[in-house]
Structure 1
Amino acid sequence: METGYITTPFGRRPMTLALVKRQVKTEQAIADGSVDKWRVFRDISDARSRLGLQDRALAVLNALLTFFPVAELSNERNLVVFPSNAQLSARTNGIAGTTLRKCLGSLVEAGVIIRKDSPNGKRYARKGKEGNIEDAYGFSLAPLLARAGEFASLAQDVAAEQRRFRITKDRLTIVRRDVRKLITVGMEENLAGDWIAAETCFVEIVGRFVRHPTLQDLISSLDEMSLLHEEVSRMLEIKEETAKSDGNAIPDGCHIQNSNTESCHELEPRSEKKQGEKSEPNKKTERKDEPEAFPLSMVLRACPEINAFGPGGSIGSWREMMSAAVTVRSMLGVSPSAYQEACEVMGQAGAAIAIACIYQRGGHINSAGGYLRDLTGKARRGEFSLGPMLFTQLRANSGTVKASA
């Protein structure tokens, strides 16, 4: 296979297999025709994140292009430019020599230019009798000609990703606003439903926002916030249906989570609990067992299989949910001590949610007890929260429903 002559760098600069491959690829890809050097430069600038180039490296590339005498890059011309470091520094507003060398190295590593070093490492050109350049040593711009189409494609991909980023960010802002205001309506109008749970869930999702998000971060946050929006909308729709049939909201239904704060040992005894201990331990348990993390309806949509263990084959309250979790815990082979530890760290509602998720994903988990202990340990260290686990299961179930429909 004809690959042309492979050149190596001068001095202590190493030659790598990657540099060899780039030279070979450039020789094979270069073809007849020409490209506008400044158009290729704009494409590289737009795709700099994909190429791993910083702004200063682009400034050095811009300076190198100014030493090429014409705007069109063509294989009919000598594509090697040979400015000295002093000349390059002057055309990059006095960039320091160390920084200049690093930028040139990054351009070589990105495959934008190729070194063509002379025997002594200096950059110069030899001219013939007619004044034409016969041979030159410096930096070859051949990759700009050979990879022009690739750079243009990368620039288009980056532009499309940036557009998608802006669209996703706008959608997230709108859904976040809608959820915030809908929850406020439910709470201020004293409507029946797990509004405090929805509020807590909203705060948890917002708390996972990062300062400089990637597109994937925005997609994940939008997905979770959209699921919460769907749940809040369901709560409002249920209220409308109840109002049509009944006319009056049920006063006791406004804070469902506050009516199910019985201590953990009522559903599964704690081995260290003494019969005479009531006030302080009960207060502590009540605080942990308040099911304010997520709306119950959302948990049941994410983990519908636990419904079968409720009275009559359905679960209608947090107390029934916790009782069902104890039954499922035993079926899964989770020890009482492991479940009790989960209750102490996550609260009984949190432990019940974890058990429901584990049961829902039973075919993918080898040891339910070990998995729960691992989650408990991470939760104790602040490395785990139920939100992502629950939302992942909710998305999985939504996909299954859509596929079967």
Structure 2
Amino acid sequence: MEKVHSGGRPLTRAALAGRRRALEEGRAISRRELAGHARDAAKALRLRPSLRQVLEALVAVWGEQPWSRLLVWPSNERLSEKTGLSERALRYALRDLVGLELITPKDSANGKRFAIRAPDGTVVDAYGFDLTPVVARAGEWAERLRLLKAEVEQRRRSFDILTVCRRAVSEALQGLATHHPEVPISDLILARDSLEQSSPKRSRASDDPSLVVTQWMDLREKAEERFYKAGCAGNSCSHLETNNEPPSESCNKGSSRSAGGGAALRPDLVAAACPVARELGFDIQTEPDLIDAGRSLRGSIGAHPSAWSEACEALGALTAGALVVLVAQLHDDEVTGRRKSEIRNPGGYFRHLVRLSAEGRYSVAAELLAMRRQRMT
């Protein structure tokens, strides 16, 4: 059978699907609204630059006609001028936009794009591309962007956990080598070096930290358990640092302090006011849990070890741990947009609060009570 050349493009399922998408009857669309939906679509589908450029160029030439379909009919020459793409690259981009069901071709008999005018010159219809799917799928773009945001947030938290675990392992290994050289750690060092080589980098958008986070958490648990048993074998408080105070005093120093009109500094208060601790893998139920969380998160807020030592000396390990978790929560609230950005340097802010608390000008417990009330309202 002889092949007939109509000048049009081959029929595809995507083109047919695009034709089926329509706007609500009587809905008016502005170019600004169309441009906003096009940007959302580009983000949601992670369009490559050339596709973004072509889609933006098509939106820019739309004349806001009060039609049921959003039709545009620019020539390839005009689109090339607007985007800087070659003829071939432009054709590929248009083909891919059709395949993604962002635009729908409306071809004339000879495949040309042009407007159909009434006798008085008014444009009443056109052959070209239909941008209706961009607006008709607005709900899909919103849902995709919500999922992408959640994915980005989960990736950020996974990297935070990975960083916390990596630093905790290094501190445990350093503590074992310094204070308990008789304890073998070669297996831990070998496991750490292997994980370092396989761990992804935060700067690479394609790297997935969830593949190694569990392994880092297991290694951290092993390293800290070995250090714990080497130091006190469960017979006294579980401090990683050495100190000369009696165990009961060093564990409870600061726990009996009250602030904010008699408000006691309790682990359950910290856990309720600062949910970021649980999100980072710390289940704060007891005072040693709180001290461990503060010690481990100290590095994640950028606080120098000397700041932690100063806090323990001035406020006690319990209050120091609570203050670290508090600053970590404030910083997390700023990063996630729940709080206006005010803390430029979390580590420096932590040291500042330590000194204010030591002078009696800041109450950690009172601040935690206020934060808990805000989360309950």
TM-score (norm 1): 0.51
The whole-number CA distance in structure 2 between the counterparts of 1:44 and 1:79 is: 16
2:32 equivalent to 1:41: no
2:167 equivalent to 1:177: yes
Q: How much does 1:214 deviate?
A: 4.2
Note closer, same or farther for the CA distance 1:162–1:244 as it changes in structure 2 (3 Å cut): closer
2:131 equivalent to 1:137: no
Note closer, same or farther for the CA distance 1:139–1:232 as it changes in structure 2 (3 Å cut): same
The whole-number CA distance in structure 2 between the counterparts of 1:119 and 1:181 is: 74
Kindly indicate whether the alpha-carbon contact (under 8 Å) linking 1:10 and 1:118 is maintained by their aligned counterparts in 2.
no
2:147 equivalent to 1:160: no
Q: How much does 1:130 deviate?
A: 4.2
Which residue pairs with 1:21 in the alignment?
Answer: 17
Note closer, same or farther for the CA distance 1:116–1:192 as it changes in structure 2 (3 Å cut): farther
Once the two structures are superposed, residues 131-173 of structure 1 have per-residue CA deviations (whole angstroms, 9 ceiling, x without a partner) of 4322211110110121111112212222222222222223212
Kindly indicate whether the alpha-carbon contact (under 8 Å) linking 1:78 and 1:133 is maintained by their aligned counterparts in 2.
no
Which residue pairs with 2:140 in the alignment?
Answer: 150
**Which portions of structure 1, spanning 4 or more consecutive aligned residues, are displaced by more than 6 angstroms?**
none
Q: How much does 1:243 deviate?
A: 8.8
Which residue pairs with 2:73 in the alignment?
Answer: 82
2:223 equivalent to 1:238: no
Note closer, same or farther for the CA distance 1:185–1:240 as it changes in structure 2 (3 Å cut): closer
The correspondence for 1:227, drawn from 218, 224, 237, is 218
The whole-number CA distance in structure 2 between the counterparts of 1:98 and 1:30 is: 36
The whole-number CA distance in structure 2 between the counterparts of 1:206 and 1:179 is: 11
The whole-number CA distance in structure 2 between the counterparts of 1:12 and 1:194 is: 75
Q: How much does 1:34 deviate?
A: 4.0
Q: How much does 1:190 deviate?
A: 3.1
User: After the TM superposition, which residues 350-389 of structure 1 pair with which residues of structure 2 at under 5 Å, given as runs?
Assistant: none
Structure 2 letter corresponding to 1:209: S
Kindly indicate whether the alpha-carbon contact (under 8 Å) linking 1:202 and 1:228 is maintained by their aligned counterparts in 2.
yes
What SS is found at the alignment partner of 2:209?
helix
Kindly indicate whether the alpha-carbon contact (under 8 Å) linking 2:40 and 2:141 is maintained by their aligned counterparts in 1.
yes
Q: How much does 1:207 deviate?
A: 1.7
The whole-number CA distance in structure 2 between the counterparts of 1:176 and 1:32 is: 58
Q: How much does 1:48 deviate?
A: 2.8
Q: How much does 1:78 deviate?
A: 4.4
Q: How much does 1:20 deviate?
A: 2.5
The correspondence for 1:97, drawn from 80, 87, 97, is 87
The whole-number CA distance in structure 2 between the counterparts of 1:96 and 1:233 is: 60
2:49 equivalent to 1:55: yes
What SS is found at the alignment partner of 1:136?
strand
The whole-number CA distance in structure 2 between the counterparts of 1:10 and 1:118 is: 9
State the superposition RMSD in angstroms.
Answer: 2.6
Note closer, same or farther for the CA distance 1:117–1:69 as it changes in structure 2 (3 Å cut): same
User: After the TM superposition, which residues 304-319 of structure 1 pair with which residues of structure 2 at under 5 Å, given as runs?
Assistant: none
What SS is found at the alignment partner of 1:47?
helix
Q: How much does 1:77 deviate?
A: 4.8
Kindly indicate whether the alpha-carbon contact (under 8 Å) linking 2:107 and 2:113 is maintained by their aligned counterparts in 1.
yes
Once the two structures are superposed, residues 26-80 of structure 1 have per-residue CA deviations (whole angstroms, 9 ceiling, x without a partner) of 14x655424511210221232132xxx211110110010111123xx97x45411
The whole-number CA distance in structure 2 between the counterparts of 1:84 and 1:43 is: 25
Kindly indicate whether the alpha-carbon contact (under 8 Å) linking 1:30 and 1:142 is maintained by their aligned counterparts in 2.
no
User: After the TM superposition, which residues 220-369 of structure 1 pair with which residues of structure 2 at under 5 Å, given as runs?
Assistant: 220-242=211-233
The number of residues matched between the two structures is 227
Ranges in structure 1 where 5+ consecutive residues have no aligned partner: 1-8, 246-405
Kindly indicate whether the alpha-carbon contact (under 8 Å) linking 1:34 and 1:145 is maintained by their aligned counterparts in 2.
no
The whole-number CA distance in structure 2 between the counterparts of 1:222 and 1:164 is: 12
Kindly indicate whether the alpha-carbon contact (under 8 Å) linking 2:8 and 2:107 is maintained by their aligned counterparts in 1.
no
Q: How much does 1:237 deviate?
A: 1.6
Which residue pairs with 1:109 in the alignment?
Answer: 99
Identity %: 28
Note closer, same or farther for the CA distance 1:106–1:12 as it changes in structure 2 (3 Å cut): same
Structure 2 letter corresponding to 1:206: E
Kindly indicate whether the alpha-carbon contact (under 8 Å) linking 1:172 and 1:225 is maintained by their aligned counterparts in 2.
yes
User: After the TM superposition, which residues 174-213 of structure 1 pair with which residues of structure 2 at under 5 Å, given as runs?
Assistant: 174-210=164-200, 212=204
Kindly indicate whether the alpha-carbon contact (under 8 Å) linking 1:46 and 1:158 is maintained by their aligned counterparts in 2.
no
The whole-number CA distance in structure 2 between the counterparts of 1:18 and 1:10 is: 20
The whole-number CA distance in structure 2 between the counterparts of 1:152 and 1:221 is: 31
What SS is found at the alignment partner of 1:220?
helix
The whole-number CA distance in structure 1 between the counterparts of 2:174 and 2:120 is: 83
Kindly indicate whether the alpha-carbon contact (under 8 Å) linking 2:14 and 2:101 is maintained by their aligned counterparts in 1.
no
Kindly indicate whether the alpha-carbon contact (under 8 Å) linking 1:172 and 1:222 is maintained by their aligned counterparts in 2.
yes
Ranges in structure 2 where 5+ consecutive residues have no aligned partner: 237-377
